[in-house]
């Protein structure tokens, strides 16, 4: 259990160590150093002394999960969101005061751009704080399990694949989201429907996703099950029941509305089950405002919105542009985007369903070179090939919306190498109590 002779005695997975956390790594885990050996510790914050169990042990570094907080760091604040006595796994930074969360996110953005992208000379704007620290998520995913013979519905216990911690009130979610989850659990218990057990291959219920239209008050739920007969779920929950391979099973399939209604920046949107929607509605509006400003439109420009989802960015900027073209790979999201343009009376927005790898060249041929390209890819960022396609578009400005500075950095570096200048990076806090940070980066030729 000592923390000083780590290197001499090679550690193994499952070993427990006492560690002092001295900083936070990219991605948010605590960093401890023991005799030159670096340990990345889930569930630990700077200043903490913890007992941690190794989950991976390599020659020069290890990964671990905190199993006991022996002495909290001086800056720690009490956990506000706990489930069954455990800190909420969705809020790993809740012990850090909010001003320190913001400072750490800014530091991580700057570090990623400089160290992973070799980028210098850009303006790093002060991070935009979140409007609400809690109850901001419009979507949460829960897992089913069994506890004391009854169905449990909540999150995996930290470091466990099989144990589910029942959730009564998750403070990242609104009260209606919590109520919807609890209603599904009560229904499962009352109807005696079992949770799916992957080892025994028995039971039915696997996951529940609850999404909420913050402005419409609507709830959209997706119940993921194994094939089997189910009694009718609560009808006011818009429920889709999926089979093992994703096919719809059960007596009724889709109940209630298939599309969630939401409003953003004064525009009305419909959202299909398979379509992406920013999980913090209020901060999405702030983000889209920053994107619109970053595009610097005067009225006649052609804009590409790549990775456009249901058309939120394209439609937010359409009135200030000549024409906008959205590209997105999920067919239902593209159908939503077209419907959303029509519902808002926007007639200068067109949408294409394609993979960005293959769809950008034909889009340039069809629409002509854009003045501005907006990209908003998933966490993995852009592949080198997609960056090359963006470069071929030859826009004078690229506005890159990123949810992961470690992938923004190499993508922006590739663009800089091809002749763009990274002008400005604006971090935005969409996810308080977590290490996630959003950025809007502006590159110009």
* Bridge partner list, 220: 211, 238
Given the DSSP bridges, would you call strands 219-225 and 238-242 parallel, antiparallel or unpaired?
parallel
Smallest gap, in angstroms, from Cβ of residue 382 to ligand SAM?
Answer: 9
User: Do 317 and 289 meet the contact criterion of CB atoms below 8 Å apart?
Assistant: no
Query: How far apart, in Å, are the Cα atoms of 266 and each of 259, 297, 324, 374, 432?
Result: 18, 19, 18, 21, 25
Smallest gap, in angstroms, from Cβ of residue 258 to ligand SAM?
Answer: 17
> With binding defined as CB under 6 A, does residue 355 bind ligand SAM?
yes
> With binding defined as CB under 6 A, does residue 303 bind ligand SAM?
no
> With binding defined as CB under 6 A, does residue 318 bind ligand SAM?
no
> With binding defined as CB under 6 A, does residue 116 bind ligand SAM?
no
> With binding defined as CB under 6 A, does residue 352 bind ligand SAM?
no
> With binding defined as CB under 6 A, does residue 279 bind ligand SAM?
no
Name, in order, each residue with C-beta under 8 angstroms of 345's C-beta and a sequence gap of 6 or more. none
> With binding defined as CB under 6 A, does residue 370 bind ligand SAM?
no
Number of shown-chain residues binding ligand SAM (CB under 6 A): 17
CA-closest candidate to residue 309, choices 129, 287, 301, 222: 287
> With binding defined as CB under 6 A, does residue 46 bind ligand SAM?
no
Q: Tell me which residues in 322-341 interact with ligand SAM (CB under 6 A).
A: 328-330, 333
| ∠ Cα 62 64 68 (to 5°) | 145
Q: How far apart are CA 62 and CA 32, in angstroms?
A: 10
User: Do 40 and 66 meet the contact criterion of CB atoms below 8 Å apart?
Assistant: no
Smallest gap, in angstroms, from Cβ of residue 401 to ligand SAM?
Answer: 7
The residue sitting closest to ligand SAM, measured at its beta carbon, is: 309
CA-closest candidate to residue 426, choices 249, 291, 297, 301: 291
Question: Which region among 68-76, 106-114, 209-217, 351-359 touches ligand SAM (by CB under 6 A)?
Answer: 351-359
Q: How far apart are CA 187 and CA 314, in angstroms?
A: 40
Q: Which of 376, 389, 402, 439 binds ligand SAM (CB under 6 A)?
A: 376
User: Which candidate in 81, 170, 295, 403 is catalytic?
Assistant: 403
Q: Which of 37, 136, 269, 276 binds ligand SAM (CB under 6 A)?
A: 276
Catalytic-residue membership of 88: no
Q: How far apart are CA 147 and CA 197, in angstroms?
A: 12
Alpha-carbon Rg of the chain, whole angstroms? 23
Smallest gap, in angstroms, from Cβ of residue 186 to ligand SAM?
Answer: 33
Smallest gap, in angstroms, from Cβ of residue 377 to ligand SAM?
Answer: 6
Q: Give helix 356-367 / helix 384-393 axis angle, nearest 10°.
A: 10
> With binding defined as CB under 6 A, does residue 390 bind ligand SAM?
no
> With binding defined as CB under 6 A, does residue 269 bind ligand SAM?
no
> With binding defined as CB under 6 A, does residue 356 bind ligand SAM?
yes
> With binding defined as CB under 6 A, does residue 32 bind ligand SAM?
no
Annotated catalytic residues are: 403
Residues forming contacts to ligand SAM in the complex (CB under 6 A) are: 276, 278, 307-309, 312-313, 328-330, 333, 355-357, 376-378
């Amino acid at each position: 259990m000592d923390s000083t002779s780590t290197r001499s005695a090679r550690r193994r997975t499952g070993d427990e160590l006492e560690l002092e956390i001295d900083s936070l790594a990219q991605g948010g885990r605590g960093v401890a150093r023991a005799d030159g050996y670096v340990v990345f510790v889930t569930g630990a914050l700077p200043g903490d002394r913890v007992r941690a169990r190794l989950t991976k042990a390599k020659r020069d570094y290890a990964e671990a999960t905190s199993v006991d907080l022996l002495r909290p760091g001086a800056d720690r604040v009490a956990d506000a969101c706990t489930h069954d006595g455990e800190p909420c796994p969705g809020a790993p930074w809740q012990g850090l005061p909010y001003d320190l969360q913001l400072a750490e996110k800014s530091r991580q953005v700057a570090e990623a751009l400089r160290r992973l992208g070799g980028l210098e000379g850009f303006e790093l704007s002060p991070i935009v704080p979140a409007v609400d620290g809690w109850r901001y998520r419009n979507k949460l995913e829960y897992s089913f399990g069994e506890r004391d013979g009854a169905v449990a519905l909540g999150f995996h216990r930290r470091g466990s694949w099989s144990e589910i911690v029942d959730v009564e009130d998750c403070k990242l979610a609104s009260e209606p989201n919590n109520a919807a989850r609890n209603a599904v659990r009560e229904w499962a218990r009352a109807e005696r429907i079992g949770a799916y057990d992957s080892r025994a291959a028995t039971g039915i219920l696997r996951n529940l996703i609850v999404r909420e239209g913050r402005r419409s008050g609507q709830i959209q739920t997706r119940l993921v099950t194994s094939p089997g007969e189910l009694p009718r779920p609560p009808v006011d929950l818009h429920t889709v029941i999926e089979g093992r391979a994703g096919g719809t099973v059960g007596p009724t399939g889709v109940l209630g509305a298939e599309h969630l209604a939401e409003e953003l920046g004064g525009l009305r949107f419909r959202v299909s089950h398979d379509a992406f929607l920013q999980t913090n509605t209020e901060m999405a509006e702030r983000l889209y405002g920053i994107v619109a400003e970053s595009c610097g439109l005067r009225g006649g420009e052609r804009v590409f919105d790549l990775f456009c989802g249901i058309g939120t960015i394209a439609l937010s900027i359409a009135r200030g542009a000549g024409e906008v073209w959205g590209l997105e790979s999920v067919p239902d999201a593209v159908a939503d985007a077209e419907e959303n343009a029509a519902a808002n009376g926007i007639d200068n927005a067109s949408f294409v369903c394609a993979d960005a790898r293959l769809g950008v060249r034909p889009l340039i041929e069809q629409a002509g070179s854009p003045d501005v390209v907006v990209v908003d890819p998933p966490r993995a960022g852009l592949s080198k090939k997609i960056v090359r396609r963006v470069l071929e578009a030859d826009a004078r400005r690229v506005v890159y919306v990123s949810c992961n500075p470690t992938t923004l950095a190499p993508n922006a570096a590739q663009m800089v190498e091809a002749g763009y200048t990274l002008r400005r990076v604006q971090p935005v806090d969409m996810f308080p109590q977590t290490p996630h940070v959003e950025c809007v980066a502006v590159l110009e030729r």
